[in-house]
Amino acid sequence: MPLPRYGVAAGTFQSFTRDPSHDFGQWYHGHLTLATPDGPCASALDVDAPTDVGVAYRLVDDLTVEHIAAVRALPDGFNPLASTPASGALDYARSPMLQDTAWLAAAAAVFRRVRLAVTRPAPGSPAFGPDLADRLAARLPDRAARAFPWVSSNGDNALDVLLPHVRAASRIYVFGQGFDHGLGVHDVHLNQGDPVGSRWYPDNGIWQDGAVVCEHSDGRVVVWQIKFDTQVLTTDDAGHPR
């Protein structure tokens, strides 16, 4: 079933740490803690995984507070969210504010369909990480198109990109699933598109994706996204690969 405790934690920056050691190609996390009226709210950020999985990150940095009006109105602390666009929930494949320019997205989709038809990757293989379309998007001058490429994460590079924003943010929003016990958020990543047969397939769903959203005092908003390379971004209405 989709995530039963999906929501967003809102608060201000309290601390940021990393796992004490990093064995590259293994599970590795950043740990962001927010200050809230209910006490410290922890979050675990998956930024590296075994080499048969792989992780990618993306930064969307041309947004303003108008794009997050629904969650800005919520109080600090953890707030459950309905898995609908009206609630302020995030969906990597459907949230308008997270989409690339239409022509670029269409061209990338065609490229990826052709690539997958030719290579025929096995279900669950790390075949959906950054590709040629992402590399080309990264070379576009001065955002000639609204393009925010996915970048392969080695763990630290994803956290290095995030850290200046959380430290400078006037308010931070961490989307994901609330802890069973205690105040905190995990599943701060794409929560759909996992392949049939994987342990995460039953958790697939739309409008339940995780991310870290940083609101700056000048009204700018930055969204930091994470996905596993085994997950696809073309999903049906149940969040399953199509």
From first to last of its 242 residues, what are the pLDDT tens digits of the chain?
699 999 999 999 999 999 987 776 678 999 999 999 999 999 999 999 887 889 999 999 999 999 999 999 999 999 999 999 999 999 999 999 999 987 878 888 888 878 777 887 777 778 888 988 888 888 877 666 788 999 999 999 999 999 999 999 999 999 999 999 999 999 999 999 999 988 999 999 999 999 999 999 999 999 999 999 999 999 999 999 98
Per-domain boundaries in the chain? 6-228
Nearest C-alpha neighbor of 75 from the set 32, 131, 34: 34
Q: What is the pTM of this model?
A: 0.92
Please, are residues 92 and 190 in contact by the beta-carbon 8 Å criterion? yes
As to burial, measured by CB atoms within 10 angstroms (0-12 exposed, 13-18 middle, 19+ buried), residue 106 is exposed
Please, are residues 166 and 32 in contact by the beta-carbon 8 Å criterion? yes
